[in-house]
């Protein structure tokens, strides 16, 4: 009796599915100026990439560090980029920002990233103090 190894199919995407241009941004918190109390956010552009953006409804992810649930509103698929982490933000063409909640390096092959994101609204709303 011989054993047969059944491999599971690879999950893959097609470059033609990447129809949305997004801008990767790195967020930093700036200390308040003298006599001010509020910290401000600063976003530095890392570059534009092509991606596939889909909405996902009703999904939440629990964050162990902050002890709270995050609502996942979008799933973004893009080519692998080592600069992208859960601290990176995405700026969409219509001016909305997406906060990356979770990243998945698909099949650990460094070819595709699946990002679970939360819509944080227009960029003008985020440039104010937090």
Segment 6-23 mean pLDDT: 82
The pLDDT of residue 108 = 86
pLDDT at 128 over 50: no
**Residue 57 pairs with which residues in a beta bridge?**
none
Domain spans, the chain = 39-126
**Residue 112: closest CA among 7, 9, 13:** 13
- 34-52 pLDDT tens trace: 777 788 888 899 999 999 9
Confidence band, pLDDT 50/70/90 cuts, at residue 129: very low
Strand partners, 116: 75, 102
Backbone angles phi, psi at 17, to 5 degrees: -75, -15
pLDDT at 25: 95
Going by C-beta distance under 8 Å and a sequence separation of 6 or more, which residues neighbour residue 74?
Answer: 53, 54, 55, 56, 98, 116, 117, 118, 119
């Amino acid at each position: 009796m011989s054993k047969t190894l059944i491999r599971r199919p690879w999950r893959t995407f097609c470059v033609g599915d990447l129809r949305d241009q997004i801008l990767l941004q790195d967020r930093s918190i700036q200390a308040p100026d003298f006599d001010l109390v509020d910290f401000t956010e600063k976003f530095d552009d890392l570059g534009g990439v092509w991606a596939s953006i889909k909405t996902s409804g009703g999904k939440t992810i629990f964050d162990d560090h902050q002890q709270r649930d995050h609502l996942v509103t979008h799933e973004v698929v893009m080519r692998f980029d080592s600069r992208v982490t859960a601290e990176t933000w995405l700026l969409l063409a219509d001016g909305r920002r997406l906060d990356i909640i979770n990243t998945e390096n698909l099949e650990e092959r460094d070819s595709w990233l699946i990002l679970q994101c939360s819509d944080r609204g227009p960029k003008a709303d985020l440039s104010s103090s937090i």
